[in-house]
Amino acid sequence: MNSARITNTAKSFSAPIVAGLVIFGVWQGALGLLDPDGFVLPAPIEIVAALVDNWDAVSQGARITGFVVVSGLGVGIVLGVLAALLVTRFRAANETITPLAVAINAVPIIALAPIFNNWFGLTSPRSNQAIVVALVFFPIFINTARGLTQVDRSQIELMESYAASRSRIAREVRIPNAMPYFFTALKLATSLAVIAAIVAEYFGGRQDALGPIITQSAGLTRYDTAWAAVLAGTAIGAVLYFGAVLLERLVMPWHLASRNGSHE
């Protein structure tokens, strides 16, 4: 059983890696054949070379941006789950939190960034962390709340027939039912967190983070360096995504088994 699970995990990770290598190979070959003049998308070899040449600056930027991404993602997850538990338990919370969450989610980053910069300071990481939290919160909240509420009524009635308390029903029925919804939102939130952090850095934060490196390098037509910083941001998102996939497989091996069974 364990060996089969390891094999399935390896296959799921190897497929996107192989696809990425093929894309980079086609990209490199196409640029070599076409040889476009003044093209702003450098060849993968040039991007890797720029990454090596500017390793200290890009790695430092990745650490700064990565801290904002991970900390904001963590807070957004906690707040989203807590809000989902509240709205499924209390009607007043549902009537208050849900419209507020929808309204915040509708506000673009470029509108939130100046406000948070004034609140927390132009160079403070808390401003960019708040933007990450705002973007991560909504998918976690909505999906988790959906999983907590869309439960088979017969399961609830069975637990109530045994005089189970509401907390026990939530613990043994609602929360397990919500786990697939939560992990779907978590995998989406990992990408949103990286996007939010880098875009927020265009408006404030430390100038040695990935966002400023991208904008400054592109402004100086050093596109290879800009794409090297983009590659670093992509790596952060990929690590977080695959971490979420691994966590899902550890927490819900039964869900993976049921999916594999349905595909047979």
Q: pLDDT, tens digit, for every residue of 203-261?
A: 988 889 999 999 999 988 899 999 999 999 999 999 999 999 999 988 887 665 555 55
Whether residue 114 is predicted with pLDDT greater than 90 in this model: the reply is no
CB 151 within 8 A of CB 173: yes
Mean pLDDT throughout 39-54? 86
Structure tokens at 113: 């960034």
Q: What is the C-alpha separation between 221 and 214, in angstroms, rounded?
A: 10
Q: What average pLDDT score do residues 27-44 get?
A: 72
Question: Which CATH number describes the domain made up of 44-258?
Answer: 1.10.3720.10
pLDDT of residue 169: 80
pLDDT at position 2, please? 55
Q: Given a cut of 80, is residue 31 above it in pLDDT? A: no
**Average pLDDT, whole number, for the chain?**
85
> What tens digit of pLDDT does each residue of 134-160 get?
999 999 999 999 999 888 888 877 887
Task: Give Cα 256 distance to the centre of its chain.
Answer: 21
| Residue 187: how many other CB atoms lie within 10 Å | 18
CA distances from 207 to 65, 145, 240, 243, 251 (A): 11, 38, 24, 28, 39
Looking at residue 264, its pLDDT comes to 46
pLDDT in tens, 177-193: 899 999 999 999 999 99
pLDDT of residue 95: 85
Residue 244 is predicted with a pLDDT of 94
Identify the residue with better confidence: 217 or 12: 217
Give the number of other Cβ atoms within 10 Å of residue 29's Cβ: 11
Question: What local confidence, expressed as pLDDT, does residue 23 receive?
Answer: 78
Higher pLDDT, 241 or 5: 241
pLDDT (0 to 100) of residue 259? 55
Q: Stretch 161-187: mean pLDDT, rounded? A: 86
| Model confidence band, residue 5 (pLDDT cutoffs 50, 70, 90) | low
Has residue 1 got a pLDDT over 50? no
Q: Residue 100's pLDDT band (boundaries 50, 70, 90)?
A: confident
Residue 19 pLDDT exceeds 80: no
